Amino acid sequence: MSDVVTLERQGDIAVVTVNNPPVNALGIAVREGLQNCFKAAEADPEVKAIVLVCEGMTFMAGADIKEFGKPPKSPSLPEVVAGIEAGNKPSVAVIHGTALGGGLEVAVSCHYRIARKDAKVGLPEVKLGLLPGAGGTQRLPRLVGVPKALDMIVSGNPIGAPEAFELGVVDKLIEGDLLSEGIAFAQQLLMDGKGARRTGERTDKLEGVDNAGAVAAKRAEIEKKMPGLFSPQRCVSAVEASFTLPLEEGLKRERELFGECLTSPQRGALVHAFFSERQASKVDDLPKDTPVREIKSAGVIGGGTMGVGIAICFANAGIPVKILEISSEARDKAIDRARDTYGMSVKRGSLTQDALEKRMGLISGVTDYADLGDVDVVVEAVFEEMGVKQKVFEALDANCKPGAILASNTSSLDLNKIAEFTKRPEDVVGLHFFSPANVMRLLEVVRGEKTSNEVLATAMAIGKKLKKVSVPVGVCDGFVGNRMVFQYGRESEFLLEEGATPAQVDGVLKKFGMAMGPFAMRDLSGLDIGLAIRTRQRQTLPAEYKLPTILDKMAEAGMLGQKTGKGFYVYEPGSRTPQENPDLPPILEAASKEQGVERQQLSDEYIIERTIYALINEGAKILEEGIAQRASDIDVIYLNGYGFPAHQGGPMFYADAVGVDRVYAKICEFHDKLGAWWKPAPLLEKLAKEGRKFADL
Ligand code: 3H9
């Protein structure tokens, strides 16, 4: 028998235990072990019932994702679950942690399920570009009905054990020791004379409901909300088979659809996104035993939208936080802003009034730096100007206790210079949150030249505590994300000079999968922000680096985006819906004329190449300079901070998918045709010539 799955007998109950850290994924050893143990228990005449339980932090969290794409090994998961369900002795799955994907499929093939109250169950395969491939699309509808199964399978979001109990996925909620509860439940079944109860044989939940209507509604919803995604419609087709076909044929249909998803490029991209996110939090040159400082309290300098968002992140993590503002009025406004932000969550139903009060109880306002003397970490979120930062950091240095971490939320200024305003540059680090800070998952952790290992490790730990996707980056103008987005923004504006409209560029990039087009985004953040960066860059970039002038012209005409009701689009008062701006074409034509560019029709492909390849070229430079540790870290930044579509894997993954040599050739063409700023990154050239990929680095 395998080491990862063991079988023992306690009286007339067989106990099958899975122990495959960290998440009991259903790799080949677990599948073999489960099959052998269930068979042995079934064959043992002394055994009357079987309990399945997992060691460690969780029940089985799914198939082993690392095995995807490799030659399949027998027994497959569908074979294992079919064997468990077919058993004649009642079997009980005892769920704790998360029963996800294949894990839940195993659980629903057992005849009964009990779960810890804080456990979660779900079928998240769609998030990996897949669908549940071990009977989940056939058995879950039989337990919860087609409409609910569609919701769970297409969203991929897990539900809590209490809801699973209400729905009938779970038969009992438990609190005590997993094994004793499992055995007690099995003994009770025997006493009550209850035997095998196979989910696959049930049909009651499939009847008397408009299943076809639910399917049509879900298809329409997907068409609207997730166009271009490969697996969601196939999830629906699989669920549809649960009520249109008998079980065996439904399972066959599920396997066909699963196979289609498995070979889709989107699956590769989404699995890359999953593992890259986990990898990003690991700092390669940080010794494993680096101590981490304890963070029990925090301070935030600046009570604007960003500062308050950051304070909310700390309060959400249960860490008391003081917001420092320059006056008592500004301080009170900041507190009101925090309350209003939480208030919106209460209105939406995602937070209770009680929780609001609890979290507000952790946020206080101060006006004196001396009040920050006892905090463990301070995050500065004041105006992006070096003189202002200098004053703040000198004050922090003078007032904060030794060992406090002094963090800056700067999005582009030189962190090394900021660190020099203190006598403790080793304690200074960048914590670059993205707006709105309480919503966006990305955190760039900026490592200055003198940032100590201990401070970096603590900063990464703070990110984890705040439930952020933390990515370590080095110091340069704009760090990773903004440095790259500058190239993207510039090229999109050049496209307008060449003949495109904002709606065309935005439309093409949205079709590519971007959450928002670059011009809708500019209107949202305000054109003055981009213009300030542009103006600074005019002074610092080499003369041969051409910059578009559209922003300047629009700012002159008072078109600053949503805040003025007019930017690349116009907005009705109180509305965020973009409409064509009739005053823009003359500005674009003037810009084209000034640049000596003849306006012409641009293809979708050209628009993607100009914008996305600009990201890739800069990403390659960033990698070469060591500003990012890995190509996949750049992808994580783009997926979590810039709305890059996960099913495209991130800009560097996309480059590998297109072919580095093809991307390089096109960039060379742009360099010849457009100008010096398109000079191919040496790393890109090297990889292209060696026939390698970013993933090979
Ligand atoms: C499926 O089941 C298909 C079937 O329907 C059909 C088959 C025929 N495999 O996230 P964490 C690793 S598809 C391999 O940091 P947490 C992870 O990489 C699967 N490895 O912990 C990390 O490794 P490392 C459906 C996995 O506590 C470590 O475990 N299931 C897998 O924040 C810890 O992970 C899913 O999609 C896996 N399935 O969160 C569930 N899962 O330490 C995916 C994790 O080396 N998993 N690892 O970096 C999750 O959502 C979270 O990992 C979980 C724990 C909630 C379980």
What CATH number is attached to the domain comprising 486? Answer: 1.10.1040.50
Nearest atom of ligand 1 to the alpha carbon of 65: 9
Q: How many CB atoms lie within 10 A of CB 602?
A: 18
Residue 548 Cβ < 6 Å to ligand 1: no
Query: Using alpha carbons only, what angle is made at residue 469 by residues 464 and 474, rounded to the nearest 5 degrees?
Result: 100
3-class DSSP state of 640: helix
Domain boundary among 434, 449, 475: 475
Total domains present in the chain? 3
Considering the domain architecture, whether residues 70 and 188 belong to the same structural domain is answered as yes
> Do 464 and 495 sit in the same domain of this protein?
no
Of the pLDDT bands very low, low, confident and very high (cuts 50, 70, 90), residue 574 is confident
Both 467 and 535 in one domain: the answer is: no
CATH code of the domain covering residue 155: 3.90.226.10
pLDDT band of 528, cuts 50, 70, 90: confident
- Quick check: is 656 in a domain? yes
> For ligand 1, what atom is nearest to the CA of residue 278?
48
592-638 per-position pLDDT tens digit: 999 899 999 999 999 999 999 999 999 999 999 999 999 999 999 99
Residue 249 is among the residues annotated as catalytic for this protein: no
| Residue 514 belongs to a domain | yes
276 Cβ closer than 6 Å to some ligand 1 atom:
no
How confident is residue 530, by pLDDT bands cut at 50, 70 and 90? Answer: confident
| C-alpha–C-alpha distance, residues 98 and 107, integer Å | 11
- Is 125 one of the catalytic residues? yes
Among residues 32, 85, 125, 497, the one annotated as catalytic is 125
Threshold 0.90, pTM exceeds: yes
**Residue 565: what pLDDT?**
92
Q: DSSP states of 115-145 as a string?
A: EETT-EEE-GGGGGT----SSHHHHHHHHH-
Q: How far is the CA of 647 from the centre of ligand 1 (A)?
A: 18
Q: Answer yes or no: is the C-beta of 97 below 6 A from any ligand 1 atom.
A: no
Within-domain flag for 331: yes
Interval between CA 157 and ligand 1 midpoint (Å): 14
Work out the widest C-alpha separation in the chain, in whole angstroms: 90
Q: In degrees, to the nearest 5, what angle opens at C-alpha 592 toward C-alphas 589 and 596?
A: 140
Residue 189 Cβ inside 6 Å of ligand 1? The answer reads no
Q: Are 538 and 660 contained in the same domain?
A: yes
Ligand 1 pocket test, pick from 54, 65, 152, 468 with the greatest ligand atom count within 8 Å of Cβ, gives 65
Quick check: is 290 in a domain? no
Query: 3-class DSSP state for residue 491?
Result: helix
Q: How far is CA 647 from CA 200, 241, 483, 643, 693, in A?
A: 32, 26, 23, 11, 18
- How far is the centre of ligand 1, averaged over its atoms, from the C-alpha of 62 (Å)? 7
**Residue 436 counted as domain residue:** yes
**Cβ 596 under 6 angstroms from ligand 1:** no
Tokens encoding 275: 């593992």
For ligand 1, say whether the CB of 124 is within 6 Å of any of its atoms. yes
Give the tokens for residue 441: 């998952």
Distance between Cα 435 and ligand 1 center (Å): 28
Residues for the chain: how many in total?
Answer: 697
How is 325-354 classified by DSSP, letter by letter?
Answer: -SSHHHHHHHHHHHHHHHHHHHHHTSS-HH
Q: Are residues 521 and 617 in the same domain?
A: yes
- What is the pLDDT at residue 20? 97
Return the ligand 1 atom nearest residue 23 CA.
29
Distance 371 CA to ligand 1 centre (A): 43
Catalytic site residue from 32, 85, 105, 493: 105
Atom of ligand 1 minimally distant from the CA of 274:
18
ipTM value of the model? 0.98
Domain with 576, as residue range(s), is 482-696
Ligand 1 neighbourhood includes 73 CB (under 6 angstroms): no
Rounded (10°) angle between helices 604-624 and 660-674: 100
* CATH number of the domain enclosing 356: 3.40.50.720
- Last residue within a domain, chosen from 475, 508, 534: 475
| Residue 2 pLDDT class (50, 70, 90 cuts) | low
Q: Which of 421, 442, 475 is the last residue of a domain?
A: 475
Kindly indicate the confidence band of residue 3, based on its pLDDT and cuts at 50, 70 and 90: confident
For residue 267, report the distance from its CA to the centre of ligand 1, in Å.
15
Q: Is 133 in the pocket of ligand 1 (CB under 6 A)?
A: yes
Joined tokens for residue 75: 């027994």
Please state the rounded mean pLDDT for residues 78-100.
Answer: 98
- Alpha helices by DSSP H, 518-626: 518-525, 527-540, 550-556, 584-595, 604-624
- The band of 146, judged by pLDDT with boundaries at 50, 70 and 90, is very high
- Residue 597: both structure tokens together: 């560019």
What is the residue-wise DSSP string for 532-551? Answer: HHHHHHHHHS-TTS----HH
Residue 275: inside a domain, yes or no? no
| Residues 55 and 149 grouped into a single domain | yes
306 lies in some domain: yes
Domain presence at residue 581 = yes
DSSP assignment of 360-420 equals HTTEEEES-GGGGTT-SEEEE---S-HHHHHHHHHHHHHHSPTT-EEEE--SSS-HHHHHH
Q: Is the C-beta atom of 134 inside 6 A of ligand 1?
A: yes
CA 522/CA 499 separation, integer angstroms: 19
* Alpha carbons 169 and 152: distance in angstroms, whole number: 12
Is the CB of 105 within 6 Å of ligand 1? Answer: yes
The answer to whether residues 239 and 338 belong to one domain is: no
Residue 82 is which amino acid? Answer: A
Q: Which helix (H) or strand (E) holds 146?
A: helix 146-155
Backbone angles phi, psi at 266, to 5 degrees: -65, -35
C-alpha span between 169 and 114 (Å, rounded): 9
Paired tokens of 394: 């000198």
Mean pLDDT of the chain: 96
Per-residue pLDDT reduced to its tens digit, 8-67: 999 999 999 999 999 999 999 999 999 999 999 999 999 999 999 999 999 999 999 999
Confidence of residue 227 (pLDDT cuts 50, 70, 90): confident
Is the same domain home to 457 and 490?
no
Q: Does the beta carbon of 61 sit less than 6 angstroms from any atom of ligand 1?
A: yes
Q: Are both 468 and 600 inside the same structural domain? A: no
pLDDT in the model for residue 319? 98
* Helix intervals (H) in 283-327: 305-316
65 CA from centroid of ligand 1 (Å): 7
Cβ–ligand 1 distance for 214 under 6 Å, the answer no
CA of 441 to the centre of ligand 1 (A): 19
Answer yes or no: do 463 and 517 share one domain. Answer: no
Nearest residue by C-alpha to atom 44 in ligand 1: 23
Q: Could you tell me if 448 and 502 lie in one domain?
A: no
Residues 465 and 596 both lie in one domain: no
Ligand 1: residue of 20, 23, 130 to mutate (most ligand atoms within 8 A of CB) is 23
Contacts 24+ apart (CB under 8 A), 394-397: 394/421, 394/422, 395/369, 396/301, 396/369, 396/372, 396/422, 397/421, 397/422, 397/423, 397/424
Q: Residue 193: pLDDT band by 50, 70, 90 thresholds?
A: very high
Which phi and psi angles does 580 have, rounded to 5°? -55, 135
